[in-house]
Amino acid sequence: MRTTASIASVLSLAALAWLAQAESLPVETTHHTLRFAGTGPHVLEVRTVHGVIDIEGYDGADVDMTVGKSISAKTADDLQRAQREVTLETADNAATIRAIGRYQYGMTCGEESSQHDREWPRYDVRFDFKIRVPRNTQIVLCTINEGTITVKGMRADFIVRSVNGPVSLSDMAGSGEATTVNGSVTASFIAAPRGDSLFRTINGDIVLSMPDAFAADLDLKTFNGGLYTDFDAQPRAIKTAAAPQRKDGKLVYQTNLYATVRVGNGGPLLTLDTFNGDARVLHRQGKENPR
Protein backbone atom coordinates (compact mmCIF):
# COMPACT_ATOMS: atom_id res chain seq x y z
CA MET A 1 0.00 0.00 0.00
CA ARG A 2 1.75 3.16 -1.20
CA THR A 3 0.32 5.58 1.34
CA THR A 4 1.06 3.39 4.36
CA ALA A 5 4.62 2.80 3.16
CA SER A 6 5.15 6.52 2.53
CA ILE A 7 3.94 7.54 5.98
CA ALA A 8 6.00 4.76 7.58
CA SER A 9 9.16 6.00 5.85
CA VAL A 10 8.57 9.53 7.11
CA LEU A 11 7.96 8.26 10.62
CA SER A 12 11.18 6.24 10.63
CA LEU A 13 13.19 9.32 9.65
CA ALA A 14 11.37 11.42 12.21
CA ALA A 15 12.12 8.95 14.97
CA LEU A 16 15.85 9.35 14.31
CA ALA A 17 15.56 13.13 14.46
CA TRP A 18 14.57 13.27 18.12
CA LEU A 19 15.23 10.44 20.50
CA ALA A 20 15.32 12.44 23.73
CA GLN A 21 11.74 13.48 24.50
CA ALA A 22 11.48 16.35 26.96
CA GLU A 23 7.74 16.55 27.52
CA SER A 24 4.90 14.06 27.95
CA LEU A 25 1.36 13.81 29.25
CA PRO A 26 -0.23 11.03 31.31
CA VAL A 27 -2.26 8.51 29.34
CA GLU A 28 -5.78 9.83 28.75
CA THR A 29 -8.33 7.00 28.72
CA THR A 30 -11.76 7.46 27.18
CA HIS A 31 -14.67 5.08 26.78
CA HIS A 32 -17.07 5.08 23.84
CA THR A 33 -20.25 3.12 23.13
CA LEU A 34 -20.94 3.17 19.40
CA ARG A 35 -24.03 1.78 17.71
CA PHE A 36 -24.75 0.43 14.28
CA ALA A 37 -27.77 1.50 12.24
CA GLY A 38 -29.62 -0.60 9.68
CA THR A 39 -29.68 -4.34 9.13
CA GLY A 40 -26.15 -4.61 7.75
CA PRO A 41 -23.74 -5.79 6.69
CA HIS A 42 -21.97 -3.92 9.48
CA VAL A 43 -18.34 -2.80 9.34
CA LEU A 44 -15.93 -1.57 12.01
CA GLU A 45 -13.03 0.53 10.68
CA VAL A 46 -10.12 1.44 12.97
CA ARG A 47 -7.03 3.36 11.77
CA THR A 48 -4.11 4.98 13.55
CA VAL A 49 -0.48 5.93 12.91
CA HIS A 50 0.92 4.79 16.29
CA GLY A 51 -0.63 2.25 18.57
CA VAL A 52 -2.10 -1.15 19.34
CA ILE A 53 -5.48 -2.43 18.12
CA ASP A 54 -7.12 -5.19 20.20
CA ILE A 55 -10.46 -6.54 18.95
CA GLU A 56 -12.67 -9.15 20.64
CA GLY A 57 -15.93 -10.49 19.24
CA TYR A 58 -18.88 -10.93 21.58
CA ASP A 59 -22.61 -11.61 21.45
CA GLY A 60 -23.82 -8.05 22.12
CA ALA A 61 -25.10 -5.42 19.68
CA ASP A 62 -22.95 -2.35 20.41
CA VAL A 63 -19.29 -1.53 19.87
CA ASP A 64 -17.70 -1.05 23.28
CA MET A 65 -14.41 0.84 22.85
CA THR A 66 -11.72 2.01 25.27
CA VAL A 67 -8.97 4.26 23.88
CA GLY A 68 -5.74 5.19 25.61
CA LYS A 69 -4.17 8.35 24.18
CA SER A 70 -0.59 9.26 25.09
CA ILE A 71 1.55 12.19 23.91
CA SER A 72 5.29 12.80 24.08
CA ALA A 73 7.11 15.73 22.49
CA LYS A 74 10.41 17.52 22.15
CA THR A 75 9.29 20.72 23.86
CA ALA A 76 6.29 22.12 25.69
CA ASP A 77 5.29 24.00 22.52
CA ASP A 78 5.40 20.76 20.57
CA LEU A 79 3.24 19.16 23.22
CA GLN A 80 0.60 21.86 22.82
CA ARG A 81 0.80 21.53 19.06
CA ALA A 82 0.16 17.81 19.33
CA GLN A 83 -2.93 18.45 21.42
CA ARG A 84 -4.28 20.79 18.72
CA GLU A 85 -3.33 18.81 15.62
CA VAL A 86 -4.00 15.16 16.49
CA THR A 87 -7.56 14.04 17.01
CA LEU A 88 -9.60 10.89 17.47
CA GLU A 89 -12.42 10.86 14.93
CA THR A 90 -15.40 8.61 15.65
CA ALA A 91 -18.56 8.02 13.64
CA ASP A 92 -21.52 5.75 14.39
CA ASN A 93 -25.26 5.41 13.86
CA ALA A 94 -24.50 3.99 10.42
CA ALA A 95 -23.70 0.65 8.79
CA THR A 96 -19.98 1.48 9.16
CA ILE A 97 -18.57 2.58 12.51
CA ARG A 98 -15.23 4.39 12.41
CA ALA A 99 -12.53 5.22 14.95
CA ILE A 100 -9.61 7.03 13.32
CA GLY A 101 -6.57 8.66 14.86
CA ARG A 102 -5.72 11.59 12.60
CA TYR A 103 -2.39 13.38 12.60
CA GLN A 104 -1.65 16.79 11.09
CA TYR A 105 -3.02 17.30 7.59
CA GLY A 106 -5.53 14.53 8.37
CA MET A 107 -3.01 11.74 7.81
CA THR A 108 -3.71 8.26 9.10
CA CYS A 109 -2.90 4.67 8.23
CA GLY A 110 -4.07 3.39 4.86
CA GLU A 111 -5.58 6.58 3.45
CA GLU A 112 -4.26 8.65 0.54
CA SER A 113 -2.48 11.86 1.52
CA SER A 114 -0.61 14.49 -0.49
CA GLN A 115 1.21 15.73 2.62
CA HIS A 116 3.77 13.00 3.27
CA ASP A 117 6.59 15.15 1.85
CA ARG A 118 6.16 17.77 4.61
CA GLU A 119 8.31 17.90 7.72
CA TRP A 120 7.04 15.50 10.36
CA PRO A 121 6.23 17.20 13.70
CA ARG A 122 8.43 16.77 16.76
CA TYR A 123 5.86 14.87 18.75
CA ASP A 124 4.46 11.37 19.04
CA VAL A 125 0.80 10.65 19.70
CA ARG A 126 -0.43 7.11 20.04
CA PHE A 127 -3.90 5.66 20.32
CA ASP A 128 -4.23 2.21 21.87
CA PHE A 129 -7.62 0.64 21.10
CA LYS A 130 -9.34 -2.10 23.07
CA ILE A 131 -12.69 -2.89 21.47
CA ARG A 132 -15.51 -5.40 21.92
CA VAL A 133 -17.56 -5.77 18.77
CA PRO A 134 -20.48 -7.98 17.64
CA ARG A 135 -19.03 -11.20 16.22
CA ASN A 136 -20.55 -10.91 12.76
CA THR A 137 -19.08 -7.48 12.07
CA GLN A 138 -16.65 -7.06 9.19
CA ILE A 139 -13.43 -5.39 10.33
CA VAL A 140 -10.95 -3.06 8.61
CA LEU A 141 -7.91 -2.37 10.81
CA CYS A 142 -4.73 -0.42 10.04
CA THR A 143 -1.78 0.76 12.15
CA ILE A 144 1.86 1.58 11.44
CA ASN A 145 4.27 1.99 14.37
CA GLU A 146 4.35 -0.21 17.47
CA GLY A 147 1.39 -1.68 15.68
CA THR A 148 0.46 -4.98 17.30
CA ILE A 149 -2.99 -6.08 16.11
CA THR A 150 -4.90 -8.78 17.99
CA VAL A 151 -8.29 -10.09 16.88
CA LYS A 152 -10.29 -12.81 18.62
CA GLY A 153 -13.64 -14.47 18.05
CA MET A 154 -14.81 -12.77 14.84
CA ARG A 155 -17.05 -14.49 12.29
CA ALA A 156 -17.08 -12.10 9.31
CA ASP A 157 -14.54 -10.98 6.73
CA PHE A 158 -11.48 -8.97 7.67
CA ILE A 159 -8.78 -6.64 6.36
CA VAL A 160 -5.98 -6.31 8.92
CA ARG A 161 -2.81 -4.35 8.10
CA SER A 162 0.18 -3.32 10.17
CA VAL A 163 3.71 -2.18 9.31
CA ASN A 164 5.85 -2.49 12.44
CA GLY A 165 4.18 -5.11 14.58
CA PRO A 166 2.76 -8.64 14.60
CA VAL A 167 -0.76 -9.64 13.59
CA SER A 168 -2.57 -12.31 15.60
CA LEU A 169 -6.01 -13.69 14.73
CA SER A 170 -7.65 -16.41 16.84
CA ASP A 171 -11.00 -18.22 16.99
CA MET A 172 -11.85 -16.87 13.53
CA ALA A 173 -14.41 -17.85 10.86
CA GLY A 174 -14.08 -15.36 8.03
CA SER A 175 -12.01 -14.58 4.95
CA GLY A 176 -9.76 -11.67 4.02
CA GLU A 177 -6.27 -10.23 4.36
CA ALA A 178 -3.81 -10.12 7.26
CA THR A 179 -0.52 -8.40 6.43
CA THR A 180 2.42 -6.67 8.06
CA VAL A 181 6.03 -5.83 7.20
CA ASN A 182 7.99 -6.41 10.41
CA GLY A 183 6.34 -9.09 12.48
CA SER A 184 4.70 -12.48 12.42
CA VAL A 185 1.22 -13.30 11.11
CA THR A 186 -0.66 -16.01 13.00
CA ALA A 187 -4.26 -17.03 12.46
CA SER A 188 -6.37 -19.78 14.00
CA PHE A 189 -9.74 -20.64 12.41
CA ILE A 190 -12.66 -22.60 13.81
CA ALA A 191 -14.03 -22.72 10.25
CA ALA A 192 -11.85 -22.44 7.16
CA PRO A 193 -12.02 -19.19 5.16
CA ARG A 194 -14.96 -19.17 2.77
CA GLY A 195 -13.18 -17.08 0.15
CA ASP A 196 -9.69 -16.40 -1.18
CA SER A 197 -7.45 -14.99 1.55
CA LEU A 198 -3.98 -13.45 1.82
CA PHE A 199 -1.46 -13.67 4.67
CA ARG A 200 1.77 -11.72 4.11
CA THR A 201 4.83 -10.36 5.90
CA ILE A 202 8.42 -9.51 5.03
CA ASN A 203 10.18 -10.28 8.32
CA GLY A 204 8.40 -12.99 10.26
CA ASP A 205 6.71 -16.38 10.22
CA ILE A 206 3.20 -17.06 8.92
CA VAL A 207 1.32 -19.79 10.78
CA LEU A 208 -2.28 -20.78 10.01
CA SER A 209 -4.21 -23.29 12.16
CA MET A 210 -7.21 -24.97 10.54
CA PRO A 211 -9.95 -27.44 11.60
CA ASP A 212 -9.69 -31.10 10.62
CA ALA A 213 -12.18 -30.74 7.74
CA PHE A 214 -10.01 -28.08 6.08
CA ALA A 215 -9.95 -28.13 2.25
CA ALA A 216 -8.35 -25.41 0.13
CA ASP A 217 -5.77 -24.54 -2.50
CA LEU A 218 -2.54 -23.17 -1.05
CA ASP A 219 0.09 -20.87 -2.56
CA LEU A 220 3.15 -20.81 -0.28
CA LYS A 221 6.29 -18.72 -0.70
CA THR A 222 9.40 -17.79 1.30
CA PHE A 223 12.95 -16.71 0.49
CA ASN A 224 14.70 -17.43 3.80
CA GLY A 225 12.65 -20.08 5.54
CA GLY A 226 10.69 -23.28 5.11
CA LEU A 227 7.24 -24.33 3.88
CA TYR A 228 5.25 -26.92 5.83
CA THR A 229 1.79 -28.41 6.33
CA ASP A 230 0.67 -31.40 8.38
CA PHE A 231 -2.45 -31.82 6.21
CA ASP A 232 -2.41 -34.34 3.37
CA ALA A 233 -1.61 -32.24 0.31
CA GLN A 234 -1.07 -32.85 -3.38
CA PRO A 235 0.88 -30.65 -5.81
CA ARG A 236 -1.05 -28.37 -8.14
CA ALA A 237 0.09 -27.20 -11.55
CA ILE A 238 2.56 -24.29 -11.32
CA LYS A 239 1.04 -21.08 -12.59
CA THR A 240 2.75 -18.86 -15.09
CA ALA A 241 2.87 -15.11 -14.63
CA ALA A 242 2.63 -14.35 -18.34
CA ALA A 243 2.65 -15.95 -21.76
CA PRO A 244 6.00 -17.55 -22.64
CA GLN A 245 8.55 -15.41 -24.45
CA ARG A 246 11.12 -16.58 -26.96
CA LYS A 247 14.74 -15.96 -25.92
CA ASP A 248 17.79 -17.30 -27.77
CA GLY A 249 15.53 -19.58 -29.72
CA LYS A 250 13.87 -21.02 -26.62
CA LEU A 251 10.49 -20.49 -24.96
CA VAL A 252 10.97 -18.99 -21.48
CA TYR A 253 8.22 -19.34 -18.88
CA GLN A 254 8.12 -17.11 -15.80
CA THR A 255 6.48 -18.64 -12.74
CA ASN A 256 5.14 -16.93 -9.65
CA LEU A 257 7.67 -18.90 -7.53
CA TYR A 258 4.96 -20.21 -5.22
CA ALA A 259 4.73 -23.79 -4.03
CA THR A 260 1.21 -24.69 -5.07
CA VAL A 261 -0.63 -27.54 -3.32
CA ARG A 262 -4.19 -28.75 -2.78
CA VAL A 263 -5.57 -29.91 0.55
CA GLY A 264 -8.55 -32.26 0.39
CA ASN A 265 -10.78 -31.51 -2.59
CA GLY A 266 -9.47 -27.95 -2.82
CA GLY A 267 -11.41 -24.76 -2.38
CA PRO A 268 -10.64 -21.08 -1.81
CA LEU A 269 -7.09 -19.99 -2.57
CA LEU A 270 -5.07 -19.16 0.57
CA THR A 271 -1.81 -17.33 -0.13
CA LEU A 272 1.00 -17.33 2.44
CA ASP A 273 3.84 -15.02 1.39
CA THR A 274 6.89 -14.18 3.52
CA PHE A 275 10.49 -13.25 2.77
CA ASN A 276 12.35 -13.96 6.02
CA GLY A 277 10.41 -16.65 7.82
CA ASP A 278 8.51 -19.93 7.63
CA ALA A 279 5.04 -20.47 6.14
CA ARG A 280 3.07 -23.21 7.88
CA VAL A 281 -0.49 -24.56 7.71
CA LEU A 282 -1.31 -26.80 10.67
CA HIS A 283 -4.15 -28.69 12.30
CA ARG A 284 -5.94 -26.57 14.87
CA GLN A 285 -5.39 -27.71 18.44
CA GLY A 286 -7.90 -27.54 21.28
CA LYS A 287 -11.67 -27.41 21.54
CA GLU A 288 -13.53 -25.47 18.88
CA ASN A 289 -16.31 -23.04 19.69
CA PRO A 290 -18.33 -22.43 16.50
CA ARG A 291 -20.67 -19.71 17.83
Beta bridge partners of 139: 44, 158
pLDDT for 121: 74
Q: Any idea of the CA torsion for 227, 289, 170, 45, to the nearest 10 degrees?
A: 130
> What's residue 13's pLDDT?
42
Triad 148, 149, 150: Cα angle to 5°? 120
Helices and strands (H and E) in the chain: how many: 2, 23
pTM: 0.86
Reported as a single tens digit per residue, the pLDDT across 96-123 is: 999 999 988 788 999 876 555 566 678 9
Distance (Å, rounded) from C-alpha 176 to C-alpha 197? 5
Q: How far is CA 167 from CA 30, 88, 183, 206, 290, in A?
A: 24, 23, 7, 10, 22
pLDDT at 227: 96
Environment class of residue 12 by beta-carbon count within 10 Å: exposed (0-12), middle (13-18) or buried (19+)?
A: middle
Q: What is the pLDDT of residue 36?
A: 98
Q: How far is CA 252 from the centre of its chain?
A: 37
The whole-number mean pLDDT for each consecutive block of 10 residues of the chain, a chain of 291 residues, reads 48 45 82 95 97 98 97 91 94 97 89 66 92 98 95 98 98 98 98 97 98 97 95 83 67 69 97 97 72 50
Predicted pLDDT of residue 193:
97
- At position 154, the amino acid (one-letter code) is M
Q: How far is CA 173 from CA 24, 137, 232, in A?
A: 41, 11, 22
pLDDT of residue 246: 73
CB of 86 closer than 8 Å to CB of 48: no
Cis peptide before 41 (omega within 30 of 0): yes
For the purposes of burial, counting CB atoms within 10 Å of the CB of 90, is it exposed (0-12), middle (13-18) or buried (19 or more)?
middle
pLDDT at residue 239, rounded to an integer: 61
Distances from the Cα of 252 to the Cα of 242, 247, 249, angstroms: 10, 7, 9
d(CA 120, CA 105): 11
CA distance linking residue 26 with residue 225, whole number of Å: 42
State the DSSP string of 99-115.
Answer: EEEE-GGG--TTS--S-
Which pLDDT score, from 0 to 100, does residue 248 have?
73
